[in-house]
Amino acid sequence: MRRNISALLIAFLFLASGFVAPALGQALTGAERQQELLRIWYEIREGTAANGDPEAKYDVGVANFVARGTVQDHPKAAQWFMRAADRGHAGAHYYLGYMYAAGVGLEASPENSMKHYLRAAELGHADAQYLVGSRYASGQGIDRNPGEALKWMTHAAEKGVPGAQFYLGQIHEFGQGVRADPAAAAQWYKAAANQGEPLAQARLGDLYLAGRGVPQSLEEAYLWHSLARNGERVEEIGRRLNRNQLAAAEDRVRAHAALSTQQ
Mean pLDDT of 160-184: 96
Mean pLDDT of 163-191: 96
Say which CATH superfamily domain 165-263 falls into: Tetratricopeptide repeat domain (1.25.40.10)
Identify the CA nearest to 202 among candidates 193, 211, 213.
193
Q: What are 213-254's pLDDT values in tens digits?
A: 999 999 999 999 999 999 999 999 999 999 999 999 999 999
| Residue 84 C-alpha from the chain's centroid | 21
The amino acid that residue 14 corresponds to is F
Q: How far apart are CA 90 and CA 116, in angstroms?
A: 9
Please name the CATH architecture into which domain 54-159 falls: Alpha Horseshoe (1.25)
Q: How far apart are CA 127 and CA 157, in angstroms?
A: 10
Q: How far apart are CA 263 and CA 178, in angstroms?
A: 34
Identify the CA nearest to 46 among candidates 7, 10, 12, 17.
7
Identify the CA nearest to 190 among candidates 209, 171, 168.
168
The pTM of the whole model exceeds 0.85: no
Q: How far apart are CA 51 and CA 158, in angstroms?
A: 35
Residue 4: pLDDT band by 50, 70, 90 thresholds?
Answer: low
